[in-house]
Amino acid sequence: MAVKKIVKGQSLFEVTVTLMIVSLVVTAIAGLALISIKSSSYSRNKTLTTRYIQEANEWIKGQKDTDWNAFLANVGSHGTLCFQSVDDGWYQKSSCLSTDYIVGTNLIRQVSFDASITNTVMVNVTVSWSDQNGLHQSSSVTYLTNWQDK
């Protein structure tokens, strides 16, 4: 009579293959999670740049509508401003350093003016940020005119 040998458990080869498959799946999931986090961070910053560009444009338009001559005088004395907060008004730094963030963000907002065309001021608002993928920025160019005197 032949005696059958009963084998219980897993061989070392089977355990190794299973661990390799599990580690590949976990690595793929972690990679997808990292890509998702980067993508959501980029989208959040892109949305915020639009908000901060609009905020600066609205403040500048309000200054223009209040008094065109005072607006022109301020534009003439400020070719470029580092707009950290609209609450600071015209009292902004003349250029942004790499750490001049909008309060509570990692975004830098710079506004430049060009009044070389008669009765027109070109306003260029740029909001930028840096991350592990490099420098990103959004810009808006607006032409303001003295339409009230026409």
Token reading at 116: 């070389």
CA-to-CA dists, residue 8 to 2, 4, 12, 14, 19, angstroms: 19, 13, 13, 13, 19
Q: What is the pLDDT along the chain (150 residues), one digit of tens a residue?
A: 666 776 666 688 888 999 999 999 999 999 888 888 888 888 899 999 999 999 999 999 999 999 999 999 988 888 899 989 888 888 888 888 888 999 889 999 999 999 888 889 999 999 999 988 899 999 999 999 987 655
Q: Report which DSSP code applies to 93.
A: B
Q: Is residue 28 part of a domain?
A: yes
Q: What is the largest CA-CA distance in the chain?
A: 115
Q: Is residue 20 part of a domain?
A: yes
Residue 1 lies in a domain: no
User: Is residue 61 assigned to a domain?
Assistant: yes
How far is residue 116's CA from residue 76's CA, in Å, rounded to a whole number? 10
Per the structure, the complete domain to which residue 17 belongs is given by 12-149
* H helix or E strand, kind and range, residue 13: helix 12-66
Decide: 140 and 53 in contact? Cβ < 8 Å: yes
Comparing CA positions, the residue from 87, 90, 88 lying closest to residue 70 is 90
pLDDT of residue 60: 94
In-domain check, residue 83: yes
- Position 90 scores a pLDDT of 87
E runs forming strands in the chain? 80-82, 108-114, 120-131, 134-145
Could you tell me which residues come within 8 angstroms of residue 10 by beta carbon, excluding any fewer than 6 positions away?
A: 18
Residue 6 lies in a domain: no
Identify the pLDDT of residue 133: 85
- What's the pLDDT at 1? 62
Q: According to the model, what pLDDT value does residue 49 have?
A: 94
Residue 114 maps to a domain: yes
The answer to whether position 88 is within a domain reads yes
pLDDT of residue 41: 86
Total number of domains constituting the chain: 1
